[in-house]
Amino acid sequence: MSKVLVLYYSEFGYVAIVAHAIADGARSAGAEVDIKRVPETAHTAMLRGPQFNPVHDDPFAAIEELPNYDAIIVGSPTRFGRLSSPVAGFFDQADELASRGLLNGKVGGAFASPASLNGGHETTSMSIITNLLHFGMVVAGPPYCATALADDSGQRHPSALDLEGARQQGKRIAQTAAKLSVRGESGAEHLESSAAASSAATRASGVVVALWDEARP
């Protein structure tokens, strides 16, 4: 069973709704799933006002927790076609994880929520994916990541199609993580057996050389 983290930042609640649909999809594939938020920065905390829609109360994530997961799916609102500053700042704190290779081979995915039809959903997802690739992660998911069109008045809501796409993305990433986890375990066993065989072969060749040396006149 794979362990999946759905990690997101959400100002108006749209990204949070999509995050929970992704988590539902991952659970449907048998994964153990945690949903956590990226901590707010001082600037983003100031944005809260009468139009803010706090539909989410998930716990905050910590950088040191990330290696505990087989898959990490990251969501963000769009900011001029790229990821938001809280998500970028959270990634900036993960340099030690990257340098030590602690996320190598884990499965990653992305999702975003623009405030307009040309808000840059695809480029925001790609800016998240670029970070995941630098961590050595394997990116999985449908050709385009889950999304929901947002506004600051609370008039729009994720459609049934949005949420179904999110569930499918979560399910596919969880399935991929489960497959890679099994292969990783069998791969480790293979490496151990190969190392043992190589060591035995080296010892045997040493014996042959020694006997050949003794046999020479």
**For the chain, what are the domain ranges?**
3-180
> How high is the pLDDT of residue 187?
38
Yes or no: say if 6 and 73 are a contact pair by the CB < 8 Å rule.
yes
pLDDT tens digits, 71-107: 999 999 888 888 999 999 999 999 999 999 999 999 9
Helix ranges (DSSP H) in 47-155: 85-92, 95-99, 121-134
DSSP secondary structure of 23-69:
HHHHHHTT-EEEEEEPPPPHHHHHT--TT------PPBP-GGGGGG-
Q: Give the dihedral sign, CA 168/169/170/176.
A: positive
> How high is the pLDDT of residue 114?
77
Yes or no: say if 2 and 178 are a contact pair by the CB < 8 Å rule.
yes
Q: What is the pTM of this model?
A: 0.78
Right CATH number for 3-180 from 3.40.50.360, 1.10.274.10, 1.10.357.10, 3.30.1330.60? 3.40.50.360
pLDDT tens digits, 157-214: 788 888 999 999 999 999 999 999 875 543 344 334 444 544 554 454 454 444 445 5
